[in-house]
Structure 1
Amino acid sequence: MINQQLVSILMVALGLLVGNVLFLYSLKFIAPAQSNVIVYLWPVILVVLATALGLMAFSPRHIMSVLLALTGAVLVIGPDLATGSWIGVALAFGSGFSWAIFCVYRIWQGPDAPDALIAGLTVSSITAIIIHFMIETTTLPTSLSLFGVIFTGIFPLAVGNLCWDYGLRRGDKVVLAVCAYATPLVSILILAAFGRAQLTASILVGATLIVGGGLASSRQVRSF
C-alpha cells in the first residue's frame, strides 16, 4: 500500500522545487516581467483543472473575475513585454503548470490531508542544495545577502506556503486563486516604497482590476 504521507511530502517537494527551478532558468531566455506574466497563468490553470475534475464549483462570474485579475497582473508587471524565446516561454509556463498541479493535488486530498509542508520544504531545500553543487558555481554571500536569503526562506517561502496550503484545502479556492494575482501588485508597491519602482497609470489601473476581480469572485462564494 502506498504511504500517503510520503506521497504528499514528495508532491510538496516536487511542486515547489520544479516550479522555482523552471522559473529561474526561464530568466536566462526571457525578461523577468514576461516570465512573471506567464507563470501567473497558474491560477487560471488551477481553476480549469480543478473544475474539470469536479473539485471546484464554478460559475461564469468566477471566469470573468479570474480573467479580470489576470489582465490587472499583466498591466502591473509591465505593458511592454519582450517577445523573448520560446524556450523561456515554455520554462515559465512549466513553472506555473507544475505549481497548479501541486495545488490541485492538495485540493483533491481535502481538509484532512496529511501534514506534509514542513517535511516537503525540507526535502525541497536539500534537493536544491544538491542540484546547486552539481551544476552551479558556489559563491559565498555577504552577511546582508545571507540574512536576505534566510529571511526569504522563513517568511515568503515557509510561512507563506504553509498559510496558502491551509487556505487552499479549507477555504474558498476560487477567491484564493484570484487574490494570488495581488502578488505582483504588492511587490511593485514595496519596490515603490523603497524608491525602486515608480507608480504609473498602468499600475494603478492594474491594481483596480485585481481588486475588482477579487471582489467579483468573493460575491459568489460556494461551498467546496
Structure 2
Amino acid sequence: MKLRATLIGFSAILMWSFLALFTAASGQVPPFQLSAICFAIGSLPGIVTFIVRPERLVLLRQPAKVWIIGIAGLFGYHFLYFTALRNAPAVEAGLIAYLWPLLIVVGSALLPGEKLRWYHVIGALLGLAGTILIVGRNGVDFDGAYAVGYGAAFLCAFTWSGYSLLTRRFDAVSTDVVTGFCLATSILSLLCHLALETTTWPNGAFEWLAVLGLGLFPVGAAFYAWDHGVKNGDIQILGAASYAAPLMSTLILTLFGFAEPSWRIAAACLLVTGGAVLAAQEMFRRRKGRVRPRGPSGPSEVRQPALGAQFGDAISKLANSKPGATVHPTRVKSPSDSAACHQSAGTTACGRSPLRISEPSTSVSGSLPSSARWRASGAPR
C-alpha cells in the first residue's frame, strides 16, 4: 500500500517534468493568466466527478484550516514563484525555490511516525547538487540588488514544503478536496492577472494544445497524485526523488530540441538518481524482506517431520510411560500454530505433536525426541 502510494506520488514528479516543455510551447501567455486557465482545466475532472456522483460533494466539507493550507499551498507557491521571477534572475530564483525537496526531507522528522536517517539527508543533498548543475549551467551570481526576488523564492520553497508536510497530517481528508483547491487557485490567479498583467491568448491550435496539456497533467492531475502520495506514501523518498523533475525536464527539452546535450546532464543524472536510490534504500530493504526473508544461514524454511516419525516417537514415549496413562488424539497443528512446547502437571503438550499423553497422577519427564520437533532451518531468531 505504501509503495503504491509512493509510486503515485512519483507520477506527479514525472508530470512536473513536462512543465517547462508545455510552458515553452504555450507561447507568450502571461504567467498568472496561464495559471488561471490551467488550474481551471485541472479542476474540471473533479467537477465532472461531483456531477456524476453528487454524493461525493460531502467530501468538500472540511475544516477551515484544511482549505487555508490547501489554497495557500497551491496559489501561494505560484504567486511567490512568479514574484521571484519578476524580481530576480530566473537561474538564481529557480535554485532557491528548488530547496523545497530538501526542506521536505528534513522537515519530515517532525511528523508522527517518521524517522530522519542520514541517507535521507545525503540523498536529498545529492539531488540538490544535480539540480545546481542543471539550473546553474551558465553560472550563478547572487546579487544583493535582487533581495526581494530571492526572498520570494525562499518563501516559495517554504510554502510548498510546508504544504506537503502539513498535508501529511490530514491524511484522513479525501483527495477530492484538491478540486476545490484548484478552482480557488484559478480564481485568485485570474484576479492577479487582471490587476498585474495584459491579456494575451494562445496563438493557434498548437499553443492551445500545450495549454490543455499543462492543465491536464503538470497543473492538474499532478496535484491530485502528489496529495495522495504525501498522505499515504513515503514522504522522505518523494522529497529526495523530487530533484528528478528538473533533470527529466532538461532531458525532455533536449529531446524536443529546446536545449543542447552536455556533460552536465550526465553528471546531474548520476547525482539525482544516486541520491534517490540512497534515500529509498530502506524501502528497498523492506520490499526484499517481504519477498524473500533471510536468516543467518540463508532463506527461512519451515519443515514438518513425516507423520510416521511423529507417531513412532509418540508410541515410544507411551511405551516408557507409567501404567494408567491415556492417549488422546488431537489434530496436527500447522506451522502457523504456536511453536512453543511446554510441560505441565500430567501433560506433555507440544503445538507440533499429533498426540497428547496424559497421566492421572504423574508427569512425564523429559521431552519428545528431536526428530518429532518442527525445525526451522536458518529462521530469524
TM-score, normalised on structure 1? 0.90
Q: Structure 1 or 2: larger helix share?
A: 1
Q: 2:154 aligns with which of 77, 87, 93?
A: 93
Mean Cα deviation higher: 131-140 or 201-210: 131-140
Q: Is the 8 A contact 2:104 2:236 kept in 1?
A: no
Cα separation, 1, equivalents of 2:228 and 2:242: 14
The aligned amino acid for 1:44 is L
Aligned partner of 1:24 in structure 2 is 82
Structure having greater relative contact order (Cα 8 Å, sep ≥ 6): 1
Aligned partner of 2:318 in structure 1 is none
Q: 1:164 aligns with which of 216, 220, 226?
A: 226
Equivalent residue pairs, number: 220
Q: 1:204 aligns with which of 253, 263, 266?
A: 266
Is 1:113 the counterpart of 2:178 in the alignment? no
Cα separation, 2, equivalents of 1:36 and 1:212: 22
Cα separation, 2, equivalents of 1:70 and 1:160: 21
Percent of pairs with identical residues: 27
Deviation string 1:156-189 (CA, Å, 9 cap, x unpaired) is: 1111111111111111111100110011011101
Is 1:36 the counterpart of 2:99 in the alignment? no
Cα separation, 1, equivalents of 2:208 and 2:75: 20
- How many Å apart are 1:195 and its aligned residue? 1.4
Aligned partner of 1:60 in structure 2 is 118
Q: Is the 8 A contact 2:251 2:265 kept in 1?
A: no
Q: Is the 8 A contact 1:37 1:73 kept in 2?
A: yes
Mean Cα deviation higher: 113-122 or 152-161: 113-122
Q: 1:11 aligns with which of 65, 69, 72?
A: 69
Aligned partner of 2:362 in structure 1 is none
Aligned partner of 1:214 in structure 2 is 276
The aligned amino acid for 2:214 is T
Q: Is the 8 A contact 2:84 2:150 kept in 1?
A: yes
Aligned partner of 1:179 in structure 2 is 241
Q: 1:81 aligns with which of 122, 132, 140?
A: 140
Q: Greater CA radius of gyration, 1 or 2? A: 2
- How many Å apart are 1:220 and its aligned residue? 1.6
Cα separation, 1, equivalents of 2:152 and 2:254: 29
Q: Is the 8 A contact 2:165 2:230 kept in 1?
A: no
Cα separation, 1, equivalents of 2:98 and 2:202: 30
Is 1:194 the counterpart of 2:253 in the alignment? no
Q: Is the 8 A contact 1:37 1:77 kept in 2?
A: yes
Q: 1:150 aligns with which of 207, 212, 229?
A: 212
Aligned partner of 2:31 in structure 1 is none
TM-score, normalised on structure 2? 0.55
Is 1:137 the counterpart of 2:198 in the alignment? yes
Q: Is the 8 A contact 2:108 2:236 kept in 1?
A: no
- How many Å apart are 1:139 and its aligned residue? 2.1
**What stretches of structure 2 of length at least 5 have no aligned partner?**
1-60, 287-381
Mean Cα deviation higher: 134-143 or 21-30: 134-143
Cα separation, 1, equivalents of 2:153 and 2:164: 17
Q: Is the 8 A contact 1:46 1:103 kept in 2?
A: yes
Q: 1:72 aligns with which of 91, 114, 130?
A: 130
